[in-house]
Homo-oligomer: A and B are copies of this chain.
Amino acid sequence: MAASIKHLLKDEAQYKVVGTLWIECDNERFFGPGRVELLQRIGETGSIRRAAADMGMSYKKAWEMVSTVNKQAVRPLVVPKVGGEKGGGSVITDEARELIAFHARLRERFLAFLERETNELRAEG
């Protein structure tokens, strides 16, 4: 049995290895693309409500996601804005920024893995 599967693939079709990746905390979702985007948008807008609206997500769901990640990390990732206007506003912490940066590097390594594996599909075995 050959190691390559090149001979099983159509010459004219495009095959690629794709996937999704996330970090779990005690077997529950902790940090993945959705939460990264939410935190980034909270950082940009200063508001959980606006970040949720921008993502087409309910405020309730966004608030629960924030509440969950805040408990999963050693320190909160989203905190109330100090001296913010009446009605609040939120900011992301340095810890959130570090996690977002780590996730970006992890994602780069994953994309490199997927690219290597995609090339492997047509490799000579």
Contacts and interface: CB of A to CB of B under 8 A. Distances in A.
Interface residues of A, number: 42
A79 interface: no
Interface in A10-48: 10, 13-27, 30
Given A13-B72, A21-B17, A5 B110 contact: no
A115 interface: no
A102 interface: yes
Classify the secondary structure of A's interface with B: mixed
Contact of A5 (B5, B102, B113): B102
A121 interface: yes
B117 A8 contact: no
A82 interface: no
A64 interface: no
A23 B75 contact: no
Contacts of A72: 10, 13
